[in-house]
A and B are shown apart, each in its own frame.
Chain A
Amino acid sequence: MALLEVDGVGLEFGGIRALDDLEFTVEAGEICALIGPNGAGKTTLFNCVSRVYTPQRGSIRFDGRELLTLPPHRVARAGVGRTFQNLALFPALTVLQNVMVGAYSRGRGGAWSDALRLPGVARRERRLAREGSELLERLSLDHLGDQPASDLPYGTLKRIEIARALASQPRLLLLDEPAAGLTHSEVEELGGTIRQIRDDFELTVLLVEHHMPLVMSISDRVVVLDLGRKLAEGTADAVSQDPQVIAAYLGAEL
């Protein structure tokens, strides 16, 4: 059974069909890239999976479990983490706190225990801080822990988002254009990082990206979207040779 099964998902906004009977699967452990022209519906799909949007048709199963019946905050608990195309960090929190709050779905305890600072609370806070620092270190962000997560360079913020998503220890990580705005060398480094975390955390990665070299170099499989439908699917090489994909997305030569 595939880890993520997107099945007949359809979503319209007014007259615009953002997703049109979309169907594809992501296998456990793979890095699957989702590419397609602007407005093809990639981000919209992410939004459906993380329940920011509710599709009008279809089903999305994660590990056999229907996600569309869950409230949004349950999705993280079910094991799905994501980043955002347009940054969505919490600027009032420091970088480390952003990562710590990322672990929210794993914790428990509410306002009362916090307010009374029950014994477990201090211990939990120390543990979260330690785990957060480790994640930051892994994404070479450790020197920024105490900075507010605003006004940092774009690429840095994107990486903080990855760290925050990882903090929930997801099984499926949705990355929306993580390479946007990075220089070539930074993209290469990012590619390495994604592979590394996939291996270390036994993650499955669904990656939306327009940076084709990155897609080619790290994805096990590529799904191409156009007009809300699946246009093609296969290995990076195969897909990039597909005339339909070239016509709709890549352009004549690559």
Chain B
Amino acid sequence: MSLLEVVDLSAAYGPIQVLHGISLTVDAGEVVVVLGANGAGKTTALRAISGLVAAKGELRFDGVSILGRHPESIAHRGVSHVPQGRGTLAGLTVDENMRLGAYSRRDREGIAADLAEWYDTFPPLAKRRSQTAGTMSGGEQQMLAVARSLMSRPRLLLLDEPSLGLAPLVTKQLFETLATVNRERGIAMLLVEQNAALALELAARGYVLEAGEIVASGTAENLSRDGEIRKAYLGR
């Protein structure tokens, strides 16, 4: 049984149907990437999984249907969503954002240890612990969003373009961190990313989403060898 099972999921904004029945799975401890052009519905798919958008179809996490559940209860089950546009709590400080990341946890020591670890991993955040999150630069906020998500020790991480606005060096570090986290803590990830080269390196499998439908899927290796995909997403 997969950790996340999405079967024939559709979603719409008012009259506009955006997802036309997509199916995908993420196994425990697995990293899966979703590629797709602008407006393909990637964000919508992640939002549907985390309960922010009403959807039809089947949606199971850890064998239990989570379709129609509140986002907060889905989060409590161990799904952490780093939304596109970061979702930083702009009026709160960096530190408060980080502590809220651990909102569903109760282990004080564990939280303190994680806090230290992520500040270590993202030094710009450590430097700005007491800065209001909303005043930080775009890239800094993006780091915060990812680090905050990790604070919850999720079982599944939904990442919506985590490298958006990050400097090349930081992007690289971020993907290294994600790889480490995945390896050492066994956190599964569903990753939407435009930096397809890095994403396919990290991921074991991938899907290609076009106009609300999955048009290709396979192992990361197979996908990166596909000519069309290379042309559209990799440029090599």
Chain A residues within CB distance 8 Å of chain B: 13-14, 16, 35-40, 43-44, 85-86, 151-156, 177, 180-186, 188, 210, 212-213, 248-251, 254
Question: Do A183 and B233 contact each other (CB < 8 Å), given the known contacts A38-B143, A155-B38, A177-B138?
Answer: yes
Residues in A with CB closer than 8 Å to B124 are 38-39
Which residue of A35, A152, A180 has the most chain B CB atoms within 10 A of its CB atom?
A180
Neighbour of A183 across the interface among B37, B128, B166, B172, CB < 8 A: B37
Residues in B with CB closer than 8 Å to A183 are 35-38, 194, 196, 232-233
Q: List 29 interface pairs A-B (beta carbons < 8 Å), by A numbering.
A: A16-B128, A37-B169, A38-B124, A38-B137, A38-B138, A38-B139, A38-B143, A38-B165, A38-B166, A39-B124, A43-B137, A44-B137, A153-B39, A177-B138, A181-B38, A181-B161, A182-B38, A183-B35, A183-B36, A183-B37, A183-B194, A183-B196, A183-B233, A184-B194, A184-B235, A210-B167, A210-B171, A249-B168, A250-B168
Contact bitstring B83-97, A, C-beta under 8 A = 1, else 0: 011000000000000
Which of B144-166 touch A at CB < 8 Å? Answer: 161, 164-166
Residues in A with CB closer than 8 Å to B39 are 152-153, 155-156
Neighbour of A181 across the interface among B35, B135, B172, B194, CB < 8 A: B194
Which residue of B140, B165, B166 has the most chain A CB atoms within 10 A of its CB atom?
B165
Residues in A with CB closer than 8 Å to B223 are none
Residues in B with CB closer than 8 Å to A39 are 124, 136-137, 139-140
Neighbour of A248 across the interface among B84, B164, B165, B169, CB < 8 A: B169
Which of B101-159 touch A at CB < 8 Å? Answer: 124, 128, 131, 135-140, 142-143
Neighbour of A254 across the interface among B37, B131, B168, CB < 8 A: B168
Q: How far is the CA of A44 from the CA of B138 in the complex (A)?
A: 11
Tell me the minimal C-beta distance from B18 to chain A in angstroms: 10
Q: How far is the CA of A84 from the CA of B196 in the complex (A)?
A: 24
Q: How far is the CA of A14 from the CA of B130 in the complex (A)?
A: 11
Contact B167 A181 (CB under 8 A): no
Residues in A with CB closer than 8 Å to B135 are 13
Residues in B with CB closer than 8 Å to A185 are 37, 231-233, 235
Contact B143 A181 (CB under 8 A): no
Report if B170 contacts A (CB, 8 A): yes
Question: Do A36 and B167 contact each other (CB < 8 Å), given the known contacts A43-B138, A181-B161, A185-B235?
Answer: yes
Tell me the nearest residue of chain B to A215, going by C-beta. B168
Tell me the minimal C-beta distance from A156 to chain B in angstroms: 6
Tell me the minimal C-beta distance from A141 to chain B in angstroms: 12
Neighbour of B37 across the interface among A38, A86, A180, A186, CB < 8 A: A186
Report if B52 contacts A (CB, 8 A): no
Contact B196 A251 (CB under 8 A): no
Contact B137 A251 (CB under 8 A): no
Which of B185-236 touch A at CB < 8 Å? Answer: 194, 196, 231-235
Q: How many A-B residue pairs have CB under 8 A?
A: 96
Tell me the nearest residue of chain A to B14, going by C-beta. A151
Contact B172 A251 (CB under 8 A): yes
12 more CB-based (< 8 A) A-B contacts, given A39-B136, A250-B168: A14-B131, A36-B167, A38-B170, A43-B138, A44-B137, A85-B165, A183-B36, A184-B233, A210-B166, A210-B168, A251-B168, A251-B173
Which residue of B35, B84, B170 has the most chain A CB atoms within 10 A of its CB atom?
B170
Tell me the minimal C-beta distance from A253 to chain B in angstroms: 9
Q: How far is the CA of A37 from the CA of B123 in the complex (A)?
A: 13
Q: How far is the CA of A124 from the CA of B85 in the complex (A)?
A: 37
Q: Which 9 A-B pairs have the closest CB atoms?
A: A38-B139, A153-B39, A251-B169, A155-B38, A153-B38, A184-B235, A39-B137, A185-B232, A85-B138
Tell me the minimal C-beta distance from A155 to chain B in angstroms: 4
Contact B38 A154 (CB under 8 A): yes
Residues in A with CB closer than 8 Å to B231 are 185
Tell me the nearest residue of chain B to A176, going by C-beta. B138
Question: Do A37 and B194 contact each other (CB < 8 Å), given the known contacts A180-B165, A188-B235?
Answer: no
Q: How far is the CA of A210 from the CA of B172 in the complex (A)?
A: 12
Which of B4-41 touch A at CB < 8 Å? Answer: 13, 35-39
Tell me the nearest residue of chain A to B13, going by C-beta. A151
Neighbour of B169 across the interface among A85, A86, A250, CB < 8 A: A250
Tell me the minimal C-beta distance from A64 to chain B in angstroms: 30
